[in-house]
Structure 1
Amino acid sequence: MPLYASRLKVGDVHSVRLVEDLSRTQIVQYAGASGDYNPLHTDEIFATKIAGYPTVFAHGMLTMGITSKMLTDYVGETRLTKYGVRFTNPVWPGDSLDAKATVKALISRNGENFVELSVSTTNQDGVEVLRGYAEARIDP
């Protein structure tokens, strides 16, 4: 169902559970899908003994990708016009992630309507792992 400017207001929040108990298998599957086989994400010995991390961790782009799925489910697959993020904390195996998009502004530009959103993804402890913004075309 499309979003309508007339049904949105600044401060509205859309939230979704992205993943429950992220597995190492899912992280390795993402490595295969993306072609990013950095050993920080796939090799326990490298991540712990050489790099000094407690374990392997998820690719930032995995977190960005599953967060973007929340956005396109919310605004519509063809309506997203801008999307940018910063990775603020690592995502570890076993983490559960929740994402939210908050309406920051409703604007009209060149005869089209847009919603500006702030985006945040947090882990099961409420720690933000991704912060960003998005913009999407919406109906009047």
Structure 2
Amino acid sequence: MSFVVEVGDELPGLSLAPISRATLALFAGGSGDHNPVHIDIDAARSAGAEDVFVHGMLTMAHAGRLLTDWVPQHRIRALRARFTAITPVHAEPACTGRVTAVEEVDGERRATVAISVTLRDGTTTLLGEAVIATD
């Protein structure tokens, strides 16, 4: 089943609850990323941070969830992103997306979506782009 999107369309946003230390510990266990700067305040401070901070790949997972809340996973053709700032523990990220292009590629209609993850204070922690099949 296809759906119609146009340049400028906004994806339904995804607002997240504050990211707790427990969430970081669970993500470390689930992902295998036990880097101490994410779960041990002493390690984070020795690295120059005030406190532990969120795994970049957890932020990336939230960006992926923004997409899969909008379309089924099988429609995602590409997802790329870069981290622009650290997400501190207790932050409340908000994920947004906007269609920036619609084109025909290899006989398939595809939408390019600009993605961002932003904190309440306006800090953008991730900028990315996804390509979605619309038919």
The verdict on a shared fold, with TM-score over 0.5 as the criterion, is yes
1:95 maps to which of 91, 95, 108: 91
In 1: Cα distance, 2:18 partner to 2:107 partner: 44
| Identical-residue share of aligned pairs (%) | 33
56-65 or 69-78, which moves further after superposition? 69-78
Structure 2's unaligned 5+ residue stretches are none
In 1: Cα distance, 2:59 partner to 2:113 partner: 17
In 2: Cα distance, 1:103 partner to 1:88 partner: 21
Residue type of the partner of 2:44? Answer: A
Q: 1:138 — aligned with what?
A: 134
Query: Which secondary structure does the structure 1 equivalent of 2:53 belong to?
Result: coil
Q: 1:28 — aligned with what?
A: 25
Runs of 4+ in 1 over 6 A off after TM superposition: none
Give aligned pairs, total. Answer: 135
In 1: Cα distance, 2:96 partner to 2:2 partner: 16
Q: 1:46 — aligned with what?
A: 43
In 1: Cα distance, 2:12 partner to 2:22 partner: 25
* Residue 67 of structure 1 pairs with residue 63 of structure 2: yes
CA contact (8 A) 1:56 1:92 kept: yes
In 2: Cα distance, 1:3 partner to 1:131 partner: 27
In 1: Cα distance, 2:19 partner to 2:2 partner: 30
Pairwise CA RMSD: 1.3
The alpha carbon displacement at 1:30 in A equals 0.5
Residue-by-residue CA offset, 1:51-84 (whole Å, 9 max, x unaligned): 1211000100000011101112212221100000
In 2: Cα distance, 1:27 partner to 1:3 partner: 37
CA contact (8 A) 2:13 2:97 kept: no
Q: 1:13 — aligned with what?
A: 10
Residue-by-residue CA offset, 1:17-41 (whole Å, 9 max, x unaligned): 3411110110111000010111110
Residue type of the partner of 1:44? Answer: I
Structure 1's unaligned 5+ residue stretches are none
